[in-house]
Structure 1
Amino acid sequence: MRVLGATICCLSLLAITTCCFALQKRSLEFAPLPIASEPVLQNGFSPFVRYLEKATHLPVNLKITSSYHQLREGLLNNEIDLAMLAPLPYVEISALKAEIVPVVAFVNQQGNADSICCLATYSGDHIEIGTDRPLFVSLIQPYATCGYLMSESLLRQHDYSLKNGSYIYSGSPRESALDVLRGTTQIAGIPKTMAKEYQHLGLKIITESNPVPGYLLIANSRTVSVQTIAAIRDELLKLNPLHCPNDNQLTQKWDQSIRYGSIAIEPADYVRIRDLFETMTIPGITP
C-alpha cells in the first residue's frame, strides 16, 4: 500500500508539473488583426515581434491570418497566444473565452487610446438621416467597431435602424468612404479620421459617436503565463515614443497602429461596446 501510495503521489506531482508547464509554451504565436495586406503586416509587425522576443526571452512567431475569423479560431483553439485586436473583436471573443485578457491599449499619434466613429455622406446629396428613408449604407465589415455596431447605434438615435433599409460591407474604411463619393451608397459608417481625409472631396460628417477604445494587445492566459504577460505589459508601458527620441527610433518601423506607445487598460472603457453588442445581432458575426 505504501508503494502504491507513493506511486500515486508521484503521478499526481507529474500531472501538476505537466499542467504548469503547459501554461507557458516554448514559443509564442502573435497575430495582428488583418487590417492590411500580408506584405504590409509583415513589414509593420516583424520588428514588434522581435521586441516581444526580448521582453519574454522566448521565440515569437508572426502569424498572418487571412481573416478575423481565422484569427478568432486560432485564439479559441489555443493556436494563437498573443494578438492585436480592435475593441469589438476583443469584447466578442472574451465573452466566449474567459482566458483572453487585455495587456495594453495602443495610443494614436495624438497620444489618445480611443477614436470616434461617424456617419458621413456626400455634401451635394443633402441627406437628412432624420427624414430621408430608406437609407443605403456602406459599412466596413461585421467585426469593425465603427461598422455595423456604432452605425446602428448612431442611427437608432434618429429612430432608424439598418434593418429598415439596405447596407453593404465594403471591406475597409477607405472603400466605405469611396462608396459614398462614387454614388454607390448614401452614407458610410467609418472612423472620423477617415471621413476627414475626404472632406476636400465633399465627404461630410453628419453625426458622430462618443470616443470608443482603439486597438489593444491581448493574451491567451491559457497558453501564456502570468509572468510573461506581466513582462510584456511592463516593457510596452515603459516605451514613450511620442516624447522620447530613443523610443521613437525603436518603434518608428512598427505598424502605425502600434508605434506611438501604449497605456494601461481600463476595463470600464469596454462596457459601452459590450452593452451595445448585447443589444443587437450583427449579420456576419459567427455566433
Structure 2
Amino acid sequence: MKFLFKFIVITSFFQLLIAKELIYVPLPINHEESVIEDNKIFIDYVSKVINKPIKIKYIKKYDDIIKEFKENKIDLIQIGPLPYVTLKSEFSQIEPILFFKEKGGIDKYTCAIVSTFDGPTKVEEINSKIALTQPLSTCGYFLASYLLKNKNIDIDAIGYDYLGSHDDVIEHIILDRYKSGSVKTSVAEKYSNMSIKIVAESELLPSFVLAVNPSAIT
C-alpha cells in the first residue's frame, strides 16, 4: 500500500509538471531485444496512466546506468537490490515507488550458481574460473562469492570473469567456455531444456523496484 500511494503521488506529479518524453531504463538482465519486449506492455500501461510518452532506453552496463541517472538523463529506472543501495549512497534523491512482481506474484527473487549436464553437480566441485554478470549485479560477485564461501571456496582464488548480461553468462556456459556461472534463477530456468542446471540457490532477495528521479523533472 505504501508503494502504491507513492506511485499515485509521483504519477500525479508527472502529470502536472512534465511535458517532455520520459526516459525509462530497465536492468540489462537479458539481451536488448528481450529486455525491451519484456518491458513494453508495462511501460505502455504506465504511459497511459500518466498520459505522458515514455521511451525505453537500453543501457548495457550498470555503472553507465548509475552515471546517467545521477546526471538526470534518466527519469524512471528498474533497479535491483545491490545497484539500488549503491545508487542511493551516491544520489539520495532516488525514490522507489513500486516493486516488480516475479513469477507467482511474489516480490522476491533468488540468484543461482549454474552449470551444464557435465559440469559441477555441487558447489564443492567448482574449481575453475566462474562466469559472472557485472560488478554491480546482485547476482554477480556479491551473491556468487557468498554462495561459494559457504562451501569454503574463495572466488578470488578460483577466478572469475564479467561477461555482461545473465543471458551472456548462460550462453558461455552452454558453449563450454566456463563450467559454472552466477545468474538470476528465473533466467537459468529458461534454459533448463538446454542442459542448464542449478547447483546452488540464494535466499530470497527483495525484488527489483521501479524508482523515479525527481531531479530529472525539475
The TM-score, its normalising length taken from structure 1, stands at: 0.60
Determine the structure 2 residue equivalent to 1:163.
Answer: 156
Summarize the Cα distance change of 1:43–1:164 in structure 2 as closer, same or farther, 3 Å threshold: closer
Deviation for aligned residue 1:82:
1.2
Compute the RMSD of aligned alpha carbons: 2.9
Conservation of the 8 A alpha-carbon contact between 2:24 and 2:56: yes
Summarize the Cα distance change of 1:147–1:49 in structure 2 as closer, same or farther, 3 Å threshold: same
* 3-state SS of 1:159 partner: coil
1:98 aligns with 2:59: no
Conservation of the 8 A alpha-carbon contact between 1:49 and 1:60: yes
Which segment drifts farther, 213-222 or 194-203? 194-203
Determine the structure 2 residue equivalent to 1:211.
Answer: 204
The 5-angstrom pairing of residues 1-287 of structure 1 reads 24-27=17-20, 28-126=22-120, 128-130=122-124, 132=125, 134-224=127-217
Deviation for aligned residue 1:221:
2.7
* 3-state SS of 2:49 partner: helix
* 3-state SS of 2:215 partner: coil
Conservation of the 8 A alpha-carbon contact between 1:195 and 1:205: yes
Summarize the Cα distance change of 1:83–1:159 in structure 2 as closer, same or farther, 3 Å threshold: same
Identity of aligned residues (%): 24
Deviation for aligned residue 1:151:
0.5
Conservation of the 8 A alpha-carbon contact between 2:30 and 2:165: no
Question: Can you list the C-alpha shifts for 1:75-115, whole angstroms capped at 9, x where unaligned?
Answer: 10122121112222212111111101111011123101221
Question: Can you list the C-alpha shifts for 1:48-82, whole angstroms capped at 9, x where unaligned?
Answer: 44433433344444434353333222210122121
Summarize the Cα distance change of 1:42–1:135 in structure 2 as closer, same or farther, 3 Å threshold: closer
Determine the structure 2 residue equivalent to 1:278.
Answer: none
CA distance in 2, matches of 1:69, 1:114: 23
* 3-state SS of 1:124 partner: coil
Question: Can you list the C-alpha shifts for 1:239-267, whole angstroms capped at 9, x where unaligned?
Answer: xxxxxxxxxxxxxxxxxxxxxxxxxxxxx
CA distance in 1, matches of 2:164, 2:172: 11
Q: Which amino acid aligns with 2:197?
A: K
Summarize the Cα distance change of 1:76–1:128 in structure 2 as closer, same or farther, 3 Å threshold: same
Conservation of the 8 A alpha-carbon contact between 1:123 and 1:202: yes
Conservation of the 8 A alpha-carbon contact between 1:127 and 1:186: no
Conservation of the 8 A alpha-carbon contact between 1:134 and 1:164: no
Conservation of the 8 A alpha-carbon contact between 1:25 and 1:223: no
CA distance in 2, matches of 1:177, 1:213: 23
CA distance in 1, matches of 2:139, 2:32: 23
Conservation of the 8 A alpha-carbon contact between 1:147 and 1:189: yes
Q: Which amino acid aligns with 2:180?
A: I
Conservation of the 8 A alpha-carbon contact between 1:134 and 1:166: no
Q: Which amino acid aligns with 2:63?
A: H
Q: Which amino acid aligns with 1:32?
A: P
Which structure is larger by alpha-carbon Rg, 1 or 2? Answer: 1
* 3-state SS of 1:206 partner: strand
* 3-state SS of 1:222 partner: helix
Q: Which amino acid aligns with 1:118?
A: A
Summarize the Cα distance change of 1:133–1:42 in structure 2 as closer, same or farther, 3 Å threshold: closer
